[in-house]
């Protein structure tokens, strides 16, 4: 059962009070990354104003996440919501210790004939809008296009985006209603491998939008692109919230042992409901050896749920940090994520 907001806040405040009344923990020294820090998982967002082509369904606007993000980032439906969102993340990124972010588009759902199914799509961020933003801020953003392989022009769109400079794409199976493991997509993945395009796929449970279930989120569904030679990033490392019944992490570990071209990321793994995830990852050196850093901005990390793992001063500092990029970076570093994890993304994407 999901905790209520009152229950969560009550436990969080109690935890903070306990921590502040305890002796200062010493811990081990934190080593800052030596290379550029690239946040490899940041979402572009929009409601469709200003001619961006973005789309939010009426149902998605009623989702708790929509109102939450408006409050979190100080946004409103003022006719320039899309531009205001970009302004917010640009400002925070420039004020943070993160040098660059991989910015993600979001493709829609498609019907059985491969035509766009906007009626059943929760939200959509087109690749053209992504390129518009990343071309305006080339020093800050690397474009990660989104191509649902079930669209009938998937390979043509891949060719087009590759020609525009994209070297990574994202697939979100439970939101986009696509099984990434289907054999009919092998040609698409072969083309990705041929062009050196990294394939990022959502793995693990999803709660921010309407989904078709979590079966398509299992890491084992990545076998098809891996067999076709793609470099694949299992976004979220197959992790789940503490109340989810699914546990896909053992599948990820098994695949990492089988495929040297498989990576995973740390996106959303410091969320208030995923406090088990990072400690679990830190216990597996074989997983850390393939992990890259990602925040999942604008989904915020939460230091309070790690009250028993942080010194009181650090806990208070992180809990009051309003810059989402800085908070996530500093929190994961303080929790013991090795510096080489923060350095790996730049190397994998040829940005170092």
Distant-in-sequence, close-in-space partners of 119: CB < 8 Å, separation ≥ 6 = none
How many angstroms from the chain centroid is the CA of residue 276? 17
CATH code that applies to domain 35-348: 3.20.20.140
CA nearest neighbour of 143 among 124, 172, 125, 165:
165
Is-contact 154 147, C-beta < 8 A? yes
- Of 170 and 28, the one with more pLDDT: 170
| Buried residues in 299-326 as b, exposed as e (16+ CB within 10 A) | bbbbbbbbbebbbbebbbbbbebebbbb
Q: Which two tokens stand for residue 240?
A: 């789940």
Q: What is the pLDDT of residues 274-286, one digit of tens each?
A: 999 999 999 999 9
Each domain of the chain, given as residue ranges in start order, spans 35-348
The sign of the dihedral angle between the CA atoms of 104, 189, 342, 337 is positive
Is-contact 283 299, C-beta < 8 A? no
Q: Does the pTM of the predicted model rise above 0.85?
A: yes
pLDDT at 25: 40
* Cis peptide leading into residue 298 (ω within 30°): yes
Start-to-end CA distance of the chain, whole Å, equals 44
Q: What is the pLDDT of residues 132-146, one digit of tens each?
A: 999 999 999 999 999
pLDDT at 22: 36
């Amino acid at each position: 059962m999901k905790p209520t907001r009152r229950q969560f806040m009550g436990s969080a405040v109690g935890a903070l009070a306990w921590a502040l009344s305890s002796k200062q923990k010493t811990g081990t020294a934190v080593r800052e990354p030596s290379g550029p820090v690239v946040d490899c998982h940041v979402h572009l967002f929009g409601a469709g104003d200003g001619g961006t082509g973005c789309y939010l369904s009426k149902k998605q606007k009623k989702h708790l996440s929509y109102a939450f993000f408006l409050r979190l980032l100080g946004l409103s439906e003022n006719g320039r919501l899309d531009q205001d969102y970009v302004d917010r993340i640009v400002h925070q990124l420039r004020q943070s210790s993160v040098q660059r972010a991989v910015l993600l588009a979001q493709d829609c759902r498609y019907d059985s004939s491969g035509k766009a199914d906007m009626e059943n799509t929760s939200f959509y961020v087109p690749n053209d809008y992504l390129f518009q933003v990343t071309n305006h801020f080339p020093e800050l953003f690397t474009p990660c296009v989104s191509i649902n392989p079930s669209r009938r022009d998937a390979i043509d769109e891949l060719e087009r985006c590759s020609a525009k400079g994209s070297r990574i794409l994202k697939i979100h199976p439970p939101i986009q209603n696509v099984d990434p493991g289907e054999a009919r997509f092998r040609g698409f993945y072969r083309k990705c491998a041929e062009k050196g395009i990294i394939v990022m796929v959502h793995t693990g449970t999803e709660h921010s939008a309407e989904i078709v279930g979590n079966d398509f989120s299992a890491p084992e569904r990545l076998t098809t692109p891996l067999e076709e030679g793609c470099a694949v990033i299992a976004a979220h490392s197959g992790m789940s919230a503490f109340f989810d019944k699914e546990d896909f992490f053992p599948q990820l570990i098994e695949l990492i042992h089988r495929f040297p071209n498989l990576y995973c990321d740390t996106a959303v793994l410091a969320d208030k409901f995923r406090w088990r995830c990072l400690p679990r990852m830190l216990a597996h050196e074989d997983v850390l050896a393939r992990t890259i850093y990602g925040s999942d901005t604008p989904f915020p990390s939460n230091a309070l749920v790690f009250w028993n793992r942080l010194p009181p001063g650090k806990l208070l500092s992180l809990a009051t940090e309003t810059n989402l990029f800085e908070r996530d970076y500093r929190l994961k570093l303080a929790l013991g994520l090795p510096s080489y994890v923060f350095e790996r993304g730049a190397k994998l994407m040829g940005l170092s």
